[in-house]
Structure 1
Amino acid sequence: MTDAPDQTDSATATALPDAAAYLARIGAGRPERADAAALRELHVRHLLSVPFENLSIHLGEDIVLDEKALVDKVVGSRRGGFCYELNTAFAVLLRALGYRVSLLQARVVDPAGRLGIPYDHMALLVETADGERWLADVGFGDHGHHPLAFDERGEQQDPGGLFRLREAADGDLGDLEVLKDGKPQYRLEVRPRELADFTAGAWYHRTSPDSHFPRSLICSLLTEEGRITLSDRKLITRAHGERAERVLDGDEEVRGAYRELFGIVLDELPTAPRGAEAPEGSS
């Protein structure tokens, strides 16, 4: 197990000039201290307010891995993003509130058990004022609602499922597997990384035909009752264990769904490749 990140991890981060605006964006108050209870609340508030979405790819918008640009997108433009964007912005907020945060790279495990590319995914190692370490991840689609205790190897119950962190049997020393309901979700490297290290992974997921992001259109948000997902023009609603879906009729209904359900106002609608549909739990 690696040591906790150095203080320089926080000191080199971009300053957040208006933490209040970010907190208002996610409907959270400013915590009195950077402790585990506050982190838990911030984490679930983020998931309930900021959608996981890949609209920029299909709108022809550039995705720049820059802290200020990503915070502006989430807070100023009231948009979401995928893992690199959401977890980077969340890290900036947490650092501004007194947490120490490191970026961790991970490789997603597909249904066949194959590992994705290096820097396939970004997650966060967060240290509280009390020295507790937590794995935070607001950028993995349909996943856990709360941070996971980073040094715990037993089962951890979450509203999103039963999670466990375990040492990877065939990886580098210190690599961890994140499991949900007994199935590996991703393999996590515990060495802290810099934001620039994720550039190639973000480029791959924006451009490669082997990535599902250029081939599908997704916007998904946790709700108090379950989850809502717009996959191209198919609206999928899960509430209290029940699932319903319907195809939206026409551009105005699609534009209204983005606005009313996800808080995203679009002048132009994104266009997905014909027949494309993204899984609800995309990373």
Structure 2
Amino acid sequence: MEIGKILERIGIDDEPSSINPTFENLKKLQESYILNVPYENLDFIFKKEFSVNILKIYEKIVCNNRGGICYESNTLFVYLLKYLGYDAKMIFAKVEDTSYIGANYPHLALLVTIDNKDYLVDVANGRNVRVPLALDEDTIVESEDIQYQIQACANGEYALMYNYKSKGWQVRYQFSTKKKSVKDFSCVFEDKKNYEQFSSYAPLLVTKALKDGRITLTNDMITYKENSDKRVWGISLENRAEVLRDYFNIQL
């Protein structure tokens, strides 16, 4: 695997040796990843098994210009961060909204420590916070009309909170700071019954952030929103491949 090719895939042309493990560079890396690599679950739809093998993830996202689900994108991103000298680790999160994929499907996120301060980092959760969030601060950030904030929980864990258009704070997902590895979630894919259950349940979702908006493809609809411009139109199964090519640069 070539680190330079990973950086190129996420739209960064800096030499790896010039990227110091600072907070500002972490913000740049996270935003660049989100703007260039979509969250997409096409392999669910095609009944093709996902892999937690970093070489296969690299081939899919970097070599084949695909996107990925949280297990893939965050695994690739933590590999990149560690190579660049960041103190980064995988953590598990429990997503509060289970309408997309079900209650027992754990979300993989990242925790990055800089100058003894822990930051939640996530490049693969669809419409989500785009910058690192410190666990011990009350910082509120906003993207796509949604405010985000970290809140400490009574059980020693943390919650990523969101407030959509000032409708009130809700839990996006709850997480602990305990370090995880690919072995901890390989059972999601290796258990055939478990995998088939989730792959059958999940609707098609391909979504990529824009600088000031988002473009999203579902089973029969595409939504494009940028600044105050929002358009929604239907698509057919026959032209789905064309939409993936033209709007997400994905060629299957």
TM-score by length of 2: 0.87
**Aligned: 1:26 with 2:26:** no
Question: Given the alignment of the two structures, is residue 246 of structure 1 paired with residue 229 of structure 2, yes or no?
Answer: no
Q: Which whole-Å CA distance do the structure 1 matches of 2:91 and 2:151 have between them?
A: 16
Structure 1 residue corresponding to 2:170, chosen from 178, 183, 186: 183
Structure 2 counterpart of 1:158, from 142, 151, 154: 142
Partners in 1 of 2:3 and 2:32 — Cα distance?
15
SS of residue matched to 1:259: helix
Pair 1:82-2:69 in alignment = yes
Give 1:8's aligned residue.
none
| Structure 1: 4+ residue segments shifted above 3 A | 200-206, 211-215
Q: Secondary structure at the match of 1:183?
A: strand
Equivalences for residues 32-71 of structure 1 within 5 A: 32-71=19-58
**1:1-283, aligned counterparts within 5 Å?**
17-28=1-12, 29=14, 30=16, 31-110=18-97, 116-117=103-104, 120-128=106-114, 130-152=115-137, 154-160=138-144, 161-169=146-154, 172=155, 174-181=156-163, 182-202=169-189, 206-208=195-197, 211=198, 214-249=201-236, 251=238, 253-266=239-252
Give the fraction of aligned pairs with identical amino acids, expressed as a percent: 26
Q: Please list the CA deviations of residues 132-174 of structure 1 after superposition, one character each: whole Å capped at 9, or x if unmatched.
A: 421110111001111111322x1321324322212223xx4x2
CA distance in 2, matches of 1:159, 1:63: 29
How far, CA to CA, are the matches of 2:132 and 2:179 in structure 1? 18
Aligned equivalents of 1:158 and 1:225: distance in 2? 11
For the residue of structure 1 that corresponds to 2:11, the secondary structure is: coil
Answer whether contact 1:146 1:158 (CA < 8 A) is retained. no
**Alpha carbons of 1:108 and 1:263: their partners in 2 closer, same or farther (altered >3 Å)?**
same
Q: What is the SS of the residue equivalent to 1:197? A: helix
Provide the TM-score with structure 1 as the length reference: 0.78
* 2:44/2:199 contact within 8 Å kept: no
1:23/1:107 Cα in 2 relative to 1: closer, same or farther (>3 Å)?
Answer: same
Flag the 1:230–1:57 CA change in 2: closer, same or farther, 3 A: same
Per-residue CA deviation, residues 174-218 of structure 1 (Å, 9 max, x unaligned), is 21111011110011011111111012345687422xx58734111
Distance 1:185 1:97, change over 3 A: same
Question: Does the 8 A contact of 2:161 with 2:173 survive in 1?
Answer: yes
Bigger mean CA offset, 21-30 vs 42-51: 21-30
1:250 is displaced (CA, Å) by: 5.6
Distance 1:111 1:258, change over 3 A: closer
Q: Distance in 1 between matches of 2:173 and 2:43?
A: 24
AA aligned to 1:51 is P
Q: Gaps spanning 5+ residues in structure 2: where?
A: 164-168
Q: 1: CA distance between counterparts of 2:87 and 2:237?
A: 46
Q: 1:111 to 1:54 in 2, by over 3 A?
A: closer
Whether contact under 8 Å (2:10, 2:33) holds in the other structure is: yes
**Does the 8 A contact of 1:21 with 1:75 survive in 2?**
yes
